[in-house]
Structure 1
Amino acid sequence: MKTIMVATAIVALVALSGCASPTVLEGKYSEADGWRKGTVVEIGPAKSLKRPAFYDCRTVASGTEGSDQYVMIALLSHGHSHARAAKLPADSQLQVGDKVYVNFKDCSAPIPRRSSSPSD
């Protein structure tokens, strides 16, 4: 009987530790660091983006920033739908509908495309 209780306790501990381990996307984008899966929903100048952004990296667009392109990314954070507005890197080839990774904690983080997989 004691052996069964010990085995049950070990199985329970292993199961609980599996839930506590951090999720890492594609082996390099840790959810603990703020990375989430997202979808590009808008691209344009800072003032033209219509969707409100819960995580907003836009600065007040001045005369020199007015032509800079920004991207609005829809994402889930802890089960809630949010959006992130971020400056689009000059060399970026992102388009509306692209599946990406976005870091909601870091405005200077890159916005890499996700590898395609059936669960995306």
Structure 2
Amino acid sequence: MKIGKLFASLTTLISTVALAACAMSPYEGKYSHEDGWRKARIQETGSLEQLADKYGYTCPQADKAEKSATAAVVGYQGGGRWRKQLMLLTDKVEFKPDDLVYANIKQCGESLVSRSPE
């Protein structure tokens, strides 16, 4: 009887550790979910002024940016539903709708990073 309980406890412990490791592992070893990185898809690109009028300001760094700055709206899954976030495009990289990216939703002025399909 004691061996059965020990085996059940050990199985539960291993499952819990494995699940926690998956939940905390960073994307590609460097983009941590805890730091705000999410797998996202470009929904639309344009000027900050154009997208802010359409989607509203969801990016605190956008207040300091030029209205003509290039921006993108990304879609990502969070809290069990799809969300949209306005992001500034800070690099010279050209993104277009449906491109897959990593987006840091806590730092919307941080560069988007291209990612491969899974």
Q: Which interval holds the TM-score relative to the shorter structure? A: 0.7 to 0.9
> Which residue number in structure 2 is paired with residue 89 of structure 1?
90
Percent identity reads: 27
Any stretches of 5+ residues in structure 2 without a counterpart? none
Q: TM-score, normalised by structure 2?
A: 0.83
Count of aligned pairs: 113
1:69-88 CA-to-partner distances (Å, cap 9, x unmatched) read 11111111122221111111
* Higher helix proportion (structure 1 or 2): 2
* SS of equivalent residue, structure 1 residue 31: coil
What amino acid does structure 1 have at the position aligned with 2:99? D
TM-score (norm 1): 0.82
Cα offset, 1:2, TM superposition: 0.6
2:59 counterpart residue number: 56
Q: CA deviation at 1:19?
A: 2.0
Q: 1: CA distance between counterparts of 2:67 and 2:13?
A: 55
8 Å CA contact 1:40–1:73 kept in 2: the answer is yes
For 2:69, the equivalent position in structure 1 comes to 68
What is the aligned-residue RMSD (CA, Å)?
Answer: 1.9
* Structure 2: distance between partners of 1:78 and 1:26: 22
* Alignment of structure 1 residues 1-120 onto 2, 5 Å: 1-21=1-21, 22-49=24-51, 50-52=54-56, 55-57=58-60, 58-59=62-63, 65-117=66-118
